[in-house]
A and B are shown apart, each in its own frame.
Chain A
Amino acid sequence: MGFEMTRRGAKLALAALLAISASVGARAQSVEDFYKGKSIDVVIAFSAGGGYDLYGRLLARHMGKHIPGNPTLVPQNMPGAGTLKATKYLYSVAPKDGTVFGVFSRTMPLAPVVGLAGADFDARKFTWLGSMAKEVTLCVVSDRSPVDSWEDALKTEFKLGGEGKGADPDIFANVIKTVFDAKDQLVTGYPGTADMYLAIERGELDGMCGLSYSSLLGRWGKQLQDGSLKIILQGGLQPHPELKDVPNMVDLAQDARKKQILKLILAPQAMARPFAAPPGVPEDRAKALRDAFEATLKDPEFLAEAKKLNVEIELMSADDIQGLLSDLYDTPKDLAEEASKDAGL
Chain B
Amino acid sequence: MIDAALNAIAIVADPFRLGILLSGVLLGLLIGVIPGLSGVAGLAILIPFTYTLDQYSAFALLIGMAAVTSVSDVIPAILFGVPGTVGAAATVIDGHALARSGQAGRALGAGYSAALIGALFGALVLAVAIPVVRPLVLYLGTPELLAFCIFGLSMVAILSGKAPLKGLAAACIGLLIAMVGTGSQLGTSRWTFDTLYLWEEVPLVPLTLGLFALPEIADLAIARTAIAKEGGGASFSSRAQWEGVRDVFRNWWLVLRSSTIGVALGAVPGLGASSIDWIVYGHAVATERNGRFGQGDIRGVMAPESANSAKDGGQLIPTIAFGVPGGAATAVLLSAFLMHGLVPGPDMLTKNLDVTYSIMWSLALANVAGLLICLPLSGFVARLSAVPAGRIVPIVVGVVIIAAVQATQDWGDLYSLMLFGIVGWVMKANGWPRPPLMLGFVLGALFERYLFISITLYGGEWIFRPVVIAILALTAIAIFRPLRAILWGTYRSLRRAHLEAFTPHHGMIFNLLVIALTVYAIRTSSPWPWEDKLLPQVAAYAGLVFAGLNLFTEAFSRREDDEGGLDIDGAGAVAAIPGAIVWTRAARFFGWVVGTILAALAIGVLPAAFLGVLFQSRFEFRQTWRFSLVSSLSLAAIAWLIVNYIFMVRWPQASLGDWLPALRASIHLF
- Residues of chain A touching chain B, judged by Cβ–Cβ distance below 8 Å, are 2, 17-18, 20-21, 24-25, 38, 41, 47-50, 53-54, 57, 61, 74-82, 84-85, 88, 93, 95, 97, 99, 117-118, 159, 164-166, 185, 187-191, 194-195, 197-199, 201-202, 204, 218-219, 221-222, 305, 308-310
Chain B nearest CB: distance from A225 CB in Å? 12
* Chain A: CB-nearest residue to B138: A202
Chain A nearest CB: distance from B187 CB in Å? 3
* Chain A: CB-nearest residue to B658: A93
Residues of A within 8 A of B199 (CB): 80-82, 84-85, 118
Supposing A61-B48, A204-B141 touch, asked if A93 and B187 sit within 8 A by C-beta, the answer is no
29 inter-chain pairs at a CB distance below 8 angstroms, sorted by A residue, are A18-B660, A21-B661, A21-B662, A21-B663, A24-B666, A48-B44, A49-B331, A49-B332, A54-B339, A76-B649, A76-B650, A77-B44, A81-B200, A85-B196, A97-B661, A117-B189, A164-B187, A165-B187, A185-B456, A188-B452, A188-B453, A189-B449, A190-B449, A191-B449, A197-B324, A198-B318, A198-B324, A204-B142, A219-B338
**Chain B interface residue count, Cβ-Cβ cutoff 8 angstroms:** 64
Chain B nearest CB: distance from A88 CB in Å? 7
Residues of A within 8 A of B185 (CB): 164-165, 188-189
Kindly list the 5 A-B residue pairs having the minimum CB-CB distance in the complex, ordered from nearest. Answer: A165-B187, A81-B199, A48-B44, A49-B332, A21-B662
18 extra interchain contacts, Cβ-Cβ under 8 A, other than A75-B648, A188-B185?
A: A2-B618, A38-B665, A41-B650, A49-B43, A53-B44, A76-B648, A76-B649, A79-B408, A80-B199, A159-B457, A164-B182, A165-B183, A189-B452, A191-B270, A194-B334, A201-B322, A204-B141, A222-B347
Residues of A within 8 A of B184 (CB): 164, 188-189
Residues of A within 8 A of B618 (CB): 2
Residues of B within 8 A of A221 (CB): 343
The answer to whether B453 touches A80 (Cβ under 8 A) is: no
Residues of A within 8 A of B649 (CB): 76
Residues of B within 8 A of A54 (CB): 335, 339
The answer to whether A219 touches B343 (Cβ under 8 A) is: yes
* Chain A: CB-nearest residue to B203: A80
The answer to whether B323 touches A194 (Cβ under 8 A) is: yes
* Chain B: CB-nearest residue to A87: B196
Chain A nearest CB: distance from B189 CB in Å? 7
Residues of A within 8 A of B189 (CB): 117
Chain B nearest CB: distance from A222 CB in Å? 7
The answer to whether A201 touches B138 (Cβ under 8 A) is: yes
Q: How far is the CA of A53 from the CA of B43 in the complex (A)?
A: 13
Q: Is B30 an interface residue (CB 8 A)?
A: no
Q: Is B502 an interface residue (CB 8 A)?
A: no
* Chain B: CB-nearest residue to A25: B662
The answer to whether B338 touches A194 (Cβ under 8 A) is: no
Q: Is B341 an interface residue (CB 8 A)?
A: yes
Residues of A within 8 A of B431 (CB): none
The answer to whether B322 touches A187 (Cβ under 8 A) is: no
The answer to whether A305 touches B332 (Cβ under 8 A) is: no
Q: How far is the CA of A285 from the CA of B408 in the complex (A)?
A: 30
* Chain A: CB-nearest residue to B325: A194
Residues of A within 8 A of B183 (CB): 164-165
Q: Is B548 an interface residue (CB 8 A)?
A: no
Q: Which of A47, A82, A188, A218 contacts B338 (CB 8 A)?
A: A218
Q: Is B51 an interface residue (CB 8 A)?
A: yes
Chain B nearest CB: distance from A165 CB in Å? 3
Q: How far is the CA of A84 from the CA of B329 in the complex (A)?
A: 24
The answer to whether A81 touches B196 (Cβ under 8 A) is: yes
The answer to whether A49 touches B334 (Cβ under 8 A) is: yes
